[in-house]
Amino acid sequence: MTHIFDPEDRAKLDSPERRAEMPPEETLVKAGIKPGDIFLDIGCGTGYFSLAAARMVGPRGLVYALDVSGVMLADIRSRVASLGIFNIHTLQTARGKLKMPEAEPTIAFLSDVLHEVEDKASFLAALGAALKPGARLAVIEWAKKETAKGPPLKERISEDEMQVLLKKAGFAEPAAAGLGEAHVLYTCVKLPPEK
């Protein structure tokens, strides 16, 4: 059984340490977000990236914030209402199952989510099948090394494992870049189906 983030610890999702290591706007620029994007934040938590994405995609873009936790989604809805943001929609999804919005995302984003999924290959295959060719994918995961915090080493995904998982799911070979001391950002594009 993989380690699952406890919604009771959700204050950690917007801590000064996380903002120092992964400033949301800078991280989203590295992930490839653009004005007008339909941004799919899978495992959005309390909206750390969703809120920044809503500003960055602008009035012509949309953000779909997906999470398994109703508590986290309630936090986002409360923040969205208080900030007067109109381009974020929340969707509750089941653990390990992907619920896609009606709109077709131009970029899908997962931050510290994939290591919590039991069947990573099936999950990514479902995501790959749901995205149109040319759609972008950005995955942030814990580096496969010992760090002061984060999931156990055995649950972390190595760069080689990530390359294989993403290629099998129909994505181009991902580019990998370090993100702070403990994370790696993988970016790639959904390929057209093989003929």
- Higher-confidence position of 66 and 3: 66
Averaged pLDDT score across all residues of the chain: 88
Q: pLDDT grade, residue 162 (50/70/90)?
A: very high
- Write out the two tokens for 31: 């992930």
8 domain residue, yes or no: no
Q: What is the pLDDT of residue 27?
A: 95
**pTM, to two decimals:** 0.89
4 domain residue, yes or no: no
- Find out whether 76 and 46 touch, Cβ atoms under 8 Å: yes
Q: Mind listing the pLDDT tens digit for each residue in 95-111?
A: 766 777 778 999 999 99
Question: How many angstroms from the chain centroid is the CA of residue 50?
Answer: 10
- Res. 1: pLDDT tops 50: no
Q: pLDDT grade, residue 117 (50/70/90)?
A: confident
Instruction: Identify the domain containing residue 166 by its residue range.
Output: 16-189
Average pLDDT over residues 153-181: 93
Cα–Cα distance, 139 to 42 (Å, whole number) = 10
Q: What is the pLDDT of residue 111?
A: 94
- Write out the two tokens for 13: 């999702």
CATH label of the domain that carries residue 155: 3.40.50.150
- Find out whether 117 and 157 touch, Cβ atoms under 8 Å: no
Three-state secondary-structure class, residue 49? helix
- Write out the two tokens for 80: 């969205």
145 domain residue, yes or no: yes
Instruction: Classify burial at 147, counting beta carbons within 10 Å of its beta carbon; exposed 0-12, middle 13-18, buried 19 or more.
Output: middle
122 domain residue, yes or no: yes
3 domain residue, yes or no: no
Closest residue by Cα to residue 39 from 10, 60, 21, 70: 60
Q: pLDDT grade, residue 15 (50/70/90)?
A: low
5 domain residue, yes or no: no
Q: pLDDT grade, residue 33 (50/70/90)?
A: very high
Cα–Cα distance, 18 to 54 (Å, whole number) = 19
194 domain residue, yes or no: no
- Find out whether 64 and 87 touch, Cβ atoms under 8 Å: no
Q: What's the total number of domains in the chain?
A: 1
Distances (CA, A) of 71 to 43, 82, 107, 109, 186: 12, 17, 25, 20, 28
